[in-house]
Amino acid sequence: MGKKRDFKENNPAIELISNSVKDKENIKTQDTELENLKARIKELERKQEARSQRVNLLLRPTDVREIKEEAKNQNLSMNRLVENILREYLDNKKESK
């Protein structure tokens, strides 16, 4: 017969159980972190103001072409580009006061 194995120090069953407990603790920690991140995202979304006001803007045709071209170059909609330009102008105006 072969040698007897000594499982007193390195019992594979105990190692498996302890690893399983550690994995469960890690999963709980990750779940908690995920829930915290989801809550933070919802909070930020609530703070973001909805774009609900419409504005009619008269521009020269050449300006419209240039704006459309720039929006395409930046992979933005024309509306988003104009909004960004106006937001930047207003932010700079606030900073200069």
The percent of residues in the chain predicted with pLDDT above 90, rounded, is 35
Q: For the chain, give the mean pLDDT.
A: 82
Give residue 13's pLDDT: 66
pTM for this prediction: 0.49
Give residue 7's pLDDT: 58
The whole-angstrom separation of Cα 20 and Cα 15 is 8
Can you give the residue ranges of every domain in the chain? 13-48, 56-97
- Give the model confidence (pLDDT) of 43-74 as tens digits: 777 677 777 889 999 999 999 999 999 999 99
